[in-house]
Each structure stands twice: as structure tokens, then as C-alpha cells.
Amino acid sequence: MNAAGDTRPVVSFGEMLLRLSPPAAMPLSRTRSLDLDVGGAEANVAIALAGLGRPTRMLSVLPESPLGRRAVAALGEAGVDTDHLVRADGRLGLYFFEPPSGPIGGRVTYDRAGSAFVDAEPGDIDFAAALDGACLLHMSGITPALGPSGVALARAAVLAASKAGVPVCFDGNYRANLWDAWDSDPRTVLTELVNEATILIGNHRDISLLLGQTFSGDGPDRRREAAEAAFAAFPKLELIASTARHVDSATAQRLAGRVDLRASHWQTDEIRIDPVVDRIGTGDAYAAGVILRWLEGGSAQDMAKSGLALAAMKHGIAGDSISVTRAELEAFDPAGADVSR
């Protein structure tokens, strides 16, 4: 952990995407217009941390095109360092998000094959330069799920972090559709990457995938059993952060935050979020809140509460990411949504 005055940057590594969404209650197959937003799990964490006053760097590969420049601009607007972005030929990956409507759930459709990031090789990226002076590397399981090239990029990232003495935060972010699209072995690949992690963002289901075992308890007991198994399997692991979600409907949900350390743990009470404006990116917001307090030497309770607050706030914001100030985070009250005057 680091002191609150530490100004070393967090480096986020992963693919950036453009998100295209039809108007609410309009299926993608019938829409005549699309809203554009910049997205990507790792970029979402960088944007959130930058808003909270933490220096952040984004490491990715973007096309030299108007869409690539829009992605760079979104990072710059949020205060994220873009000096280590790699520009290349190719395209920017897209995804289409149809918001939930009434009894119809939300749906994501990917169009990211052959993107500049997917086609990149480890030698195209100067990981050592990007990690110079960094306090943490944040990455996720989305990168290796993209295919053999993604696996190579992820391996190169954790190797560079190890050489630089930079701890790794790894968000499982398991995407079955991406892994199933090629001849993959997610358990082997993810186990190799998590073996280098200090922080794991993931729940008992992610740990079950990694370890090939099930956990018999219910609720918090099952999560603690899973966490203890993960700590035993991965010697570098110090912290596991997760959320517990109950979906009452597409627009009304309950959420709790949890942090497990080797010697202790903390799970928050559930808070009800109604209405849910946009669920996309809420896990990234939770990760950012946990990382923020971990960097400041906070307790498991501090990390879980800040992660939950940021995740809850993101449910009320359209788009992939959240950018709020530290004062806004500190002032958040899930019980009160009155007008601030």
C-alpha cells in the first residue's frame, strides 16, 4: 500500500472501444440513430481515478483515425495521461449496447475483430516506459480473451510489471462470448496471470473457474471460503474485491461490496439502486474505489465502502465511465437523493 500523498501514477492497460447505443426502448435492428460514447473496462478505471485526483496513465493501441482521436480526447478531457498510447493502422473496436426496456434486458453486441489493439504485438508497446515510476498496473481478463495476440499482450504486461517491481491489479472480467470465439483455455491463461497479481477483482465464481473447485457455503461464508482458497493458491495475492448483486428488475437492483484480505474481510450492507440508469461500467467504478483506498492504506471497510459508493453512483450515469470529484464521493449518501442547493 502507499501513502495518501503518493503521486505515482496508476497505469491502465487494455483495449479502448467506442460504444454505440440506440435510444431507450428502441431495438438496434430498428434504430435510425446511435449515441456515441468512449468505453473500455481499463479506461473506465483510469478515468474514475483521475477524477478522484489520482494520476493515471492509459496504455493501449489506437488507430490513427478520427475515431481513434475521439478516444484520445475522452481520456484527455478526464485528465488521464495519454503520452504512452500507441498509434497504429487499423480500426477502433466497437460495441453496441441496447439499454434494458421494461421486461427486456440489456444486450451487448461486439464488433471488435481486427482492431488495432487486437492486431498489436508485444513489441509494438513500450511497457517499460509506461510503467516507469508507476505504483500499480491495472488490467483485466478481457485482453487475453481477445485471442492469442491478446494473451501475448497480457503476458508481456505482467512480465514488464514484475521486472519493474510494480504490483498488478487484475480484474477477472470474464467474457464467455470472447473466449468461446476461439480455441481458448481460459482457466490456464487466467491462472497464469492472476499468479502475478497483488489485487484480484473477482468473486467466488471467478475463483471457481481459476481453481476448478466449487464452494459449499452460502453468501458471505462461501465468498470467504473462496477467498481463502485463492490466497492459498496465489502467494502474491493480498486483496480480493467483489460485489454481490441482486436483480429485482432491469431498473431496480441491490448491491453490496466486499473486500477480503488474508487476515480479515468486510462486506457492506446492501443498498437499493432504483432506478438504474446504466449498469455498464459499474464494476469498473467499484474497482476504482477499491484501488483508491488501497493506495491510501485504507482498511477493508474503507475499500469496500468507497467501491460501493462509486459503483452506486455510476448506476445513475449514462455511458461507460464515471468521473466525480473526491468531495462528491465523500458526500455520497445512498439514502438521500434530494437536490443539493
**SS3 of the chain:** CCCCCCCCCEEEECCCEEEEECCCCCCHHHCCCCEEEEECHHHHHHHHHHHCCCCEEEECEEECCHHHHHHHHHHHHHCCECCCCEEECCECEEEEEECCECCECCEEEEECCCECCCCCCHHHCCHHHHHCCCCEEEEECHHHHCCHHHHHHHHHHHHHHHHHCCCEEEECCCCHHHHHCCCCCHHHHHHHHHCCCCEEECCHHHHHHHHCCCCCCCHHHHHHHHHHHHHHHCCCCCEEEEEEEEEEECCEEEEEEEEEECCCEEECCCEEECCCCCCCCHHHHHHHHHHHHHHCCCCHHHHHHHHHHHHHHHCCCCCCCCCCCHHHHHHCCCCCCCCCC
Q: Which of 206, 260, 278, 284 is catalytic?
A: 284
Residue 9 C-alpha cell reads as 501514477
196 and 158 Cβ atoms separated by less than 8 Å: yes
- Check if 284 is active-site: yes
Q: Which residues are catalytic?
A: 284
